[in-house]
């Protein structure tokens, strides 16, 4: 392996197979660190990471914070709950304020698509996208691919089903870009009201019923149905959603016997996933959470310069 | 005052089948003579101002049918003075000002104020377009007769289509009685997206507006134009399907005309790739197929006019995340350069460009065409297709620097603008790159 670093992590779109593979390989290394008695390495000592979260998040931020602490970075949480306009400050001024703190890495979660890219053009810190609007959630896709790879060996040719609200899901988008690049056979399913146009152009197969998507699948990933979208015009109610799109034990039998069941969390039991499936033998949902820390350590490490990796290889 | 003579140019006036090398002699605000080069040199008289426009086209003055000049109410974005100067710098001799001011241009007193300000600005003429309803509120008719008498050339609801079909019908009927055209921007507001619906909205994760939002609204307004028999101008057509509806309506003899913006015939949704707020426009930039259809329509006669849809903003209004940033482009100065690109690409010939920027707008407004004819008002635009020019914050005259074409170098531009016989704009040689 040659020395390798990432300037930023804005999205999975455009990232090549080799880069994704290297990130996942490095995550393997950090996963091993996470199993040690002392889980802390000095890789990011003296590096300031600012977690800039302009949208509620507990899990993703906690996962990033653990990753940062295990890498010995200095961390600062900078939260806000609204857009720049509501605060009466432009996004450019927000960027300048962040820049003035001289962070080395800025982890960004924002409700508007495109904000991490905007910040990468205005701030000298390395930017890590922790979710921007409906656009991308690249570390989630990386941890998902990491979990799949651990369980299946490789992603090439594996049938992966992603079921739920594809239109409004940054998790789905990042996984689409990543899994297609990695050679998976990707099938998406959801009510037609939640399926965006042009999916075939992205190299995936779209279905309006769950069954053809999960049939013979190696991976079944269920997306969270957002309660706030219920009762409007996307679908009638949670009962009907579960009836036609929920992952039940019965339906899971359509997939390969050793198929894994994934969910980015938090789950709505009885809406997109039956409790028996969520707790069943095939679920790897908590593995995903654990891998999240390792993948985020890898990403933070790489955007910080990636020196250790080449040292290690020497 | 002496004569102004534009000479050594190419005289092009498609309304009068004129395309010949020659000169124009202007005196006392009117065209005294149109002199083909074959008539030999023009003898000098004392007080003559002679301008050599070698290599450039001399055309009837360009008219922009759609610009927000921001005054009164939003002078931090633009004012009438800077807007009309930007218009002149863009080659326009007349700029239609939209009523989306504060207060709204829905009563004669605002029109009088705006025209007074325009009279003191050295630049393009201002042609006011009044609000169709009081406060643009979609409920009560504005005093349309009084607004016409105050000098308004059309009415519109601005950014939105008129909400109720019943009100739209009444507006068409009432305006018909005053021989005032109605301008509408027909996109159904129930699909308020940030991006064309298609592969790009899927990739970028942006809320989308399908082409059907345009065709639905167009179909209604075309049906009402047919019902009432009144003149209707359909502004900012952005889709292939929308243009097809307009073409069909014209074939059926329904009295509609239409325009497109220069940015919709130049950019596609792909321009949104970096979420640059300067690419946020309404209607949204569309697909490659739509772009091709609009380009084909430029020369086919379906499209009557190209508009700037000038929407200048303060830097701060655009310094936000994409969904929050203000919508629109500061466009008065880039329309001619962009349309020259269409000439270079073969979508248009020079006469076609002039038809879309001068003849078509006047006809769509129902105004008497002014041309390169003896006795006509001397509103003239000179376009040099090989005067390179780079768009920068400094070279733009408009206060609005919000354009997706910032730092783009164009092959040509408008170089002289004459309004009522007065040279109101002369492109500085310093802007030349070569």
The phi, psi pair for A152, rounded to 5°, reads: -110, -10
- Start and end residues for every CATH 2.30.40.10 domain found in chain B: 4-58+375-431
- Judged against a pLDDT cut of 60, whether residue B434 lies above it is answered with no
* Percent of chain A whose predicted confidence (pLDDT) is above 90: 82
Any idea which fold B4-58+375-431 has?
A: Urease, subunit C; domain 1 (2.30.40)
What is residue A239's three-state secondary structure? helix
The nearest alpha carbon in chain B to A134 belongs to B205
| pLDDT average, residue stretch B308-319 | 95
pLDDT of A160-217, one tens digit each? Answer: 999 999 999 999 999 999 999 999 999 999 999 999 999 999 999 999 999 999 999 9
Identify which of A221, A241, A243, A242 has the alpha carbon closest to the alpha carbon of residue A232. A241
Q: How confident is the model at residue A313 (pLDDT cuts 50, 70, 90)?
A: very low
Delimit the CATH 3.20.20.140 region(s) of chain B: 61-365
* Least confident window among A178-192, A229-243, B220-234, B402-416: A229-243
For residue B337, the number of C-alpha atoms closer than 13 Å in the C-beta half-sphere is: 21
Question: What residues of B are in contact with residue A134 (Cβ under 8 Å)?
Answer: 205-206
Three-state DSSP class for B320? coil
Closest CA to B29 of B140, B105, B125: B125
Distance, in Å, from the CA atom of A134 to the CA atom of A113, rounded to the nearest integer, reads 6
* Chain A residues inside the 8 Å CB shell of B204: 113-114, 135
Beta-ladder partners of A190: none
Give strand ranges (E) for A190-312.
205-207, 219-222, 260-262
B322 in contact with A, Cβ within 8 Å: yes
Structure confidence at residue A85 (pLDDT): 57
Per residue in A4-41, pLDDT tens? Answer: 789 999 999 999 999 999 999 999 999 999 999 999 99
Instruction: Give contacts of A198 with chain B, Cβ < 8 Å.
Output: 198-200, 202-203
Whole-number Å distance between alpha carbons of A248 and A253:
9
Distance from the Cα of A106 to chain B's closest Cα (Å) equals: 17
| B317 min Cα distance to partner chain A (Å) | 8
Q: What is the distance between the alpha carbons of residues B362 and B369, in angstroms, rounded to a whole number? A: 6
Q: Is B197 helix (H, G, I), strand (E, B) or coil?
A: coil
Residues in CB range of B321: below 8 A, 6 or more apart: A83, A84, A91, A110, A112, A114, A115, A118, B275
- Chain A residues whose C-beta sits inside 8 Å of any chain B C-beta: 13, 83-85, 90-93, 110, 112-115, 117-118, 121, 132-136, 167, 170, 173, 196-199, 201-202
In this predicted structure, what is the pLDDT of residue A226? 82
From the CA of B205, how many Å to the nearest CA of chain A?
4
H or E stretch at A281: none
A307 pLDDT band, cuts 50/70/90, is low
Q: Residue B157 has what pLDDT?
A: 93
Please tell me the distance from the alpha carbon of residue B381 to that of residue B361, in angstroms, as a whole number.
Answer: 14
Strand B380-384 versus strand A159-163 pairing type: unpaired
Stretch A82-93: mean pLDDT? 73
B197 touches A at CB < 8 Å: yes
What's the pLDDT score for residue A56? 84
Asked if residues B259 and B236 have their Cβ atoms less than 8 Å apart, the reply is: yes
DSSP for B339-382?
HHHHHHHTS--HHHHHIIIIIHHHHHTTPPPP-SSTTSB--EEE
Residues from chain B that touch A199, judged by Cβ atoms under 8 A, are 202
- How high is the pLDDT of residue A3? 60
pLDDT (tens digit, 9 = 90+) per residue, A244-265?
A: 999 999 999 999 999 999 999 9
Task: Look up tokens 């006809």; give the residue.
Answer: B363
Put simply, the answer to whether B320 touches A113 (Cβ < 8 Å) is no
Q: Write down the pLDDT at residue A162.
A: 98
Partner-chain contact B204 A135, CB within 8 Å = yes
Interface residue B190 vs chain A (CB under 8 A): no
Stretch B333-343: mean pLDDT: 98
Residue of B nearest to A120 (CA): B274
**B321 contacts A84? CB cut-off 8 A:** yes
Q: What is the pLDDT of residue B370?
A: 84
Residue A18 CB neighbours (<10 A): 10
B269 touches chain A (CB under 8 A): no
The SS3 assignment for B89 reads helix
Residues of A in contact with B316 (CB under 8 A): 90
Residues 6+ apart with CB under 8 A from B45: B2, B3
Instruction: Answer yes or no: do B205 and A113 touch at CB < 8 A.
Output: yes
CA distances from B270 to A93, A279, B143, B274 (A): 27, 43, 43, 9
Query: Chain-centre distance of CA A85, in angstroms?
Result: 27
Task: Say yes or no: B201 contacts chain A, CB-CB below 8 A.
Answer: yes
Task: Give which of A190, A79, A89 is closest to A130, Cα–Cα.
Answer: A79
Q: Which of B304, B309, B317, B379 is catalytic?
A: B309
pLDDT digits (tens, 9 = 90+) for B372-423: 999 999 999 999 999 999 999 999 999 999 999 999 999 999 999 999 999 9
Q: Please say if the pLDDT value at position A82 is more than 70.
A: no
CA-nearest of A291, A19, A16, A264 to A143 is: A291
Q: State phi, psi for A79 to the nearest 5 degrees.
A: -110, 150
Residue A114 to residue B275, Cβ atoms within 8 A: yes
Number of A–B residue contacts, CB under 8 Å: 76
Q: In this structure, which CATH number among 3.40.50.920, 3.20.20.140, 3.40.50.620, 2.60.120.640 belongs to the domain B61-365?
A: 3.20.20.140
Is B321 at the interface with chain A, CB within 8 A? yes
In Å, how far is B212's CA from the nearest CA of chain A? 14
| Confidence band of A84 (pLDDT split at 50, 70, 90) | low
Q: Which residue matches tokens 């607004």?
A: B147
CA–CA gap between residue A222 and residue A220 (Å, rounded):
6
- Give the pLDDT of residue A311: 42
Q: Are residues A172 and A166 in contact, defined by beta-carbon separation less than 8 angstroms?
A: yes
Q: Do A110 and B321 touch (CB under 8 A)?
A: yes
Is the confidence at residue A66, as pLDDT, over 80?
yes
Annotated active-site residue B309? The verdict is: yes
pLDDT at B186 over 50: yes
When pLDDT is cut at 50, 70 and 90, the band that residue A80 belongs to is confident
Query: pLDDT category, A79, cuts 50, 70, 90?
Result: confident
DSSP track, A79-99: E-SS-HHHHT--HHHHHHHHH
Model confidence, pTM: 0.93
* A contacts of B202 (beta carbons < 8 Å): 167, 173, 196-199, 202
Q: Where are the beta strands (DSSP E) in A22-112?
A: 48-54, 74-79, 105-110
């Amino acid at each position: 392996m040659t020395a390798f670093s990432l300037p930023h992590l804005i999205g999975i779109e455009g990232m090549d197979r080799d880069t994704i593979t290297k990130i996942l390989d490095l995550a393997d290394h950090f996963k091993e660190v996470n199993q040690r008695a002392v889980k802390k390495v000095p890789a990011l000592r003296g590096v300031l990471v600012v977690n800039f979260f302009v949208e509620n998040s507990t899990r993703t931020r906690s996962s990033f914070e653990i990753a940062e602490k295990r890498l010995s970075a200095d961390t600062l949480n900078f939260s806000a709950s609204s857009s720049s306009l509501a605060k009466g400050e432009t996004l450019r001024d927000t960027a300048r304020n962040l820049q003035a703190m001289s962070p080395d890495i800025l982890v960004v979660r924002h409700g508007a698509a495109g904000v991490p890219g905007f910040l990468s053009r205005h701030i000298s810190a390395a930017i890590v996208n922790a979710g921007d609007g409906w656009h991308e959630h690249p570390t989630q896709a990386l941890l998902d691919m990491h979990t799949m790879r651990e369980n299946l060996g490789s992603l090439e040719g594996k049938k992966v089903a992603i079921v739920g609200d594809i239109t409004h899901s940054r998790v789905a988008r990042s996984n689409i870009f990543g899994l297609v690049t990695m050679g998976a056979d990707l099938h998406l399913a959801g009510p037609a009201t939640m399926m965006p146009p042009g999916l075939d152009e992205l190299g995936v197969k779209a279905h309006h019923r769950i069954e053809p998507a999960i049939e013979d699948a190696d991976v079944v990933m269920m997306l969270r149905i957002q309660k706030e979208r219920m009762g409007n015009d996307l679908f009638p109610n949670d009962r009907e959603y579960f009836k036609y799109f929920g992952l039940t034990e019965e339906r899971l039998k359509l997939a390969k016997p050793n198929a894994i069941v994934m969910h980015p969390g938090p789950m709505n039991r009885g809406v997109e996933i039956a409790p028996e499936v969520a707790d069943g033998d095939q679920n790897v949902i908590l593995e995903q959470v654990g891998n999240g820390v390792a993948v985020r350590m890898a990403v933070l490490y790489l955007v910080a310069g990636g020196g250790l990796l080449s040292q290690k290889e020497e | 005052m002496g004569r102004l003579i534009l000479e050594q140019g190419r005289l092009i006036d498609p309304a009068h089948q004129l395309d010949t090398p020659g000169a124009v002699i202007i005196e006392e605000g009117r065209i005294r003579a149109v002199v083909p080069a074959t008539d030999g040199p023009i003898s000098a008289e004392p007080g003559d101002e002679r301008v050599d426009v070698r290599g450039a086209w001399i055309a009837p003055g360009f008219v922009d049918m759609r610009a927000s000049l921001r005054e009164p109410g939003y002078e931090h974005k633009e004012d009438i003075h800077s807007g009309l100067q930007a218009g002149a710098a863009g080659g326009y001799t007349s700029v239609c000002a939209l009523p989306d001011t504060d207060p709204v241009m829905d009563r004669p007193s605002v029109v009088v104020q705006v025209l007074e300000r325009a009279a003191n600005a050295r630049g393009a003429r201002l042609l006011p377009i009044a609000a169709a309803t009081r406060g643009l509120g979609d409920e009560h008719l504005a005093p349309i007769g009084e607004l016409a008498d105050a000098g308004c050339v059309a009415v519109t609801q601005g950014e939105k289509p008129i909400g109720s079909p019943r009100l739209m019908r009444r507006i068409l009927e009432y305006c018909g009685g005053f021989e005032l055209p109605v301008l509408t921007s027909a996109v159904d507001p129930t699909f308020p997206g940030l991006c064309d619906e298609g592969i790009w909205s899927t990739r970028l994760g942006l809320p989308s507006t399908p082409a059907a939002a345009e065709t639905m609204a167009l179909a209604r307004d075309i049906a009402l134009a047919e019902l009432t028999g009144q003149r209707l101008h359909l502004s900012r057509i952005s889709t292939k399907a929308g243009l097809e509806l307009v073409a069909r309506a014209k074939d059926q003899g329904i009295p509609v005309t239409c325009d497109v913006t220069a940015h919709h015939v130049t950019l596609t949704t792909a321009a949104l790739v970096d979420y640059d707020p300067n690419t946020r426009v309404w209607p949204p930039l569309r697909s490659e197929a739509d772009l091709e259809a609009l380009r084909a329509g430029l020369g086919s006669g379906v499209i009557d006019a190209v508009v700037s849809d000038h929407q200048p903003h303060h830097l701060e209004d655009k310094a936000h995340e994409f969904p929050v940033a203000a919508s629109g482009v500061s466009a008065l100065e880039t329309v001619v350069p962009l349309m020259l690109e269409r000439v270079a690409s073969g979508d248009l010939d020079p006469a076609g460009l002039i038809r879309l920027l001068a003849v078509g707008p006047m006809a769509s407004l129902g105004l008497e065409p002014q041309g390169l004819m003896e006795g006509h008002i001397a509103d003239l635009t000179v376009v040099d297709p090989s005067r390179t020019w780079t768009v920068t914050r400094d070279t733009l005259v408009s206060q609005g620097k919000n354009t997706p074409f910032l730092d783009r170098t164009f092959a040509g531009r408008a170089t002289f603008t004459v309004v009522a016989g007065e040279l109101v704009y002369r492109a500085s040689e310093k802007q030349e790159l070569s």
